[in-house]
Amino acid sequence: MLTLKYIQENREDVVTRLKTKRFDAGEIVNKIITADNDRKSTQAEADKKQNELNTLSKSIGQLFKSGKTEEANEAREKTGALKEEIRVLNGKLAEIESDIQKLLVQVPNLPHSTVPEGKGEDDNLVEREGGEIPTLEDALPHWELASKYDLIDFELGTKLTGAGFPVYKGWGARLQRALINFFLDEATKAGYNEVLPPLLVNEDSGFGTGQLPDKEGQMYHVTEDNLYLIPTAEVPVTNIFRDVVLDEKDLPVKQCAYSACFRREAGSWGAHVRGLNRLHQFDKVEIVQVAHPDNSYEILDQMVAHVQSVVEKLELPWRILRLCGGDLSFTSALTFDFEVYSAAQKRWLEVSSVSNFETYQANRLKLRFRKAGEKKPQLAHTLNGSALALPRIVAAILENNQTPEGIRVPKVLVPFMGTELIK
């Protein structure tokens, strides 16, 4: 979240920049500043009362020693009244501070200066694109190919759990495993340290990366234990550094992780979410970096280049979008989306988002670093990206590589699959 100090010192900048995200921050910023002024005056009053109490308390002993018993008893009564006044003021102070925190978490991250104006996904800018879009006659969509080659059983998944929980079978399961191993190997080669995180996190972890408060109800909640199924490995991996102070020399920290991901995807229906296009459970490899604020955007470019290289090795047609303000997430300062082309569906499918959150997550996480020779630490920058999410990658591989003989396996996956053709 934004720091209170930044909002106080840059009110107009906050309001103006958040208009790019189509968020009217005027009212809530005024509430934050008003509440903070109230906090300051209450704190000043409490401090004044505490000083009076300290002075009066010291005088009581002297009064008794001087034989001024009546004055001493009066002073003692006054200390009791002061203590009660201070207790009330401290209670009020705690309420104000709680209210300020509740307001702060409602303010989105500020968009980077390069974020274009726009209402939604139709206004995103194409940065660059590559690969060849295949020309196929009578191409089958991936859900028909999955049935034809017995790769994925959507109906069985519905029987076992519900819609959006497919069962991968035979070569379909092997393709999943191949992609996961390939993505992890590529990330490791790029210098990322692999971790295998839990699939459930506590409330503090959800808050730290901005998933909580869950305004859209997209997280699965295990109510009895108050735990949440992770929507992405970003949550546990980034929270590894919650309440941590790193040394500047150790930045950037690079982590990658494979995990299953769980999203309720409330309100999703229609042909555009058929098959693997929109799932409640899916697999993904995530890359995360904790970076120095001075070079986090250079690192963002490196992460984008890494994802591009992985998509290119899969021989898929791709494009990179710079998200406009209206399509930018609540927590992101700048995001690049990757899409691959689906030859059978004849449309672009999103497979990755790579984002810089600057200090927004770090402030919630209390994730800081300390420069050599300095006592006071400062907030780090956090970044993450999908490298990659599997479902739509699998959809594009199946659809784009279908032949009369079977489905051609991309060359980089052959060593993992043990075959060049699924048939």
* pLDDT one-digit tens code per residue, 55-93: 888 888 787 777 777 787 787 888 888 999 999 999 999
Can you give the pLDDT at residue 67? 77
* Cα dihedral 386, 217, 356, 257 in deg (nearest 10): -30
H-helix or E-strand spanning residue 125: strand 125-130
Ligand-binding site membership of 238 (annotated): no
Ligand-binding site membership of 76 (annotated): no
H-helix or E-strand spanning residue 291: strand 281-291
Q: Is the pLDDT of residue 266 over 70?
A: no
Closest to 227 in 3D by CA, of 266, 265, 262: 262
Q: pTM of the prediction? A: 0.93
For residue 221, the cross-strand partners are 228
Rounded mean pLDDT of 301-326?
98
Ligand-binding site membership of 263 (annotated): yes
User: 273: burial class by Cβ within 10 Å (0-12, 13-18, 19+)?
Assistant: middle
Rounded mean pLDDT of 95-108?
97
Using alpha carbons only, what angle is made at residue 215 by residues 211 and 221, rounded to the nearest 5 degrees?
A: 65
Q: Is the pLDDT of residue 327 over 70?
A: yes
10 phi and psi, to 5 degrees?
-135, 45
Which conformational region is residue 395 in: left (phi greater than 0), alpha (psi within -120 to 50 degrees), or beta?
Answer: alpha
Ligand-binding site membership of 419 (annotated): no
Ligand-binding site membership of 265 (annotated): yes
Q: Is the pLDDT of residue 216 over 80?
A: no
Q: Which amino acid is at 55?
A: T
121-422 has which CATH code? 3.30.930.10
Q: 4-104 adopts what CATH topology?
A: Helix Hairpins (1.10.287)
Closest to 314 in 3D by CA, of 130, 172, 140: 130
Can you give the pLDDT at residue 155? 97
Convert the pLDDT of each residue in 139-188 to its tens digit. Answer: 999 999 999 999 999 999 999 999 999 999 999 999 999 999 999 999 99
SS (H, E, C) 198-266: CCEECHHHHHHCCCCCCCCCCCCEECCCCEEECCCCHHHHHHCCCCCEEEHHHCCEEEEEEEEEECCCC
Which residue spans of the chain are classified as CATH 3.30.930.10? Answer: 121-422
Rounded mean pLDDT of 132-141?
94
Query: Residue holding tokens 């970076």?
Result: 291
Can you give the pLDDT at residue 74? 80
Convert the pLDDT of each residue in 32-59 to its tens digit. Answer: 999 999 999 999 999 999 999 998 888 8
Ligand-binding site membership of 353 (annotated): yes
Can you give the pLDDT at residue 409? 98
Can you give the pLDDT at residue 267? 54
Mean pLDDT of all residues in the chain?
95
Can you give the pLDDT at residue 270? 57
Rounded mean pLDDT of 239-252?
98
Which residue spans of the chain are classified as CATH 1.10.287? Answer: 4-104
Ligand-binding site membership of 232 (annotated): yes
Q: Is the pLDDT of residue 288 over 70?
A: yes
Rounded mean pLDDT of 281-285?
98
Can you give the pLDDT at residue 61? 75
User: 305 falls in which pLDDT band (50, 70, 90)?
Assistant: very high
Ligand-binding site membership of 304 (annotated): no
Ligand-binding site membership of 259 (annotated): no
Can you give the pLDDT at residue 271? 57
Rounded mean pLDDT of 6-10?
96
Can you give the pLDDT at residue 77? 85
User: 236 falls in which pLDDT band (50, 70, 90)?
Assistant: very high
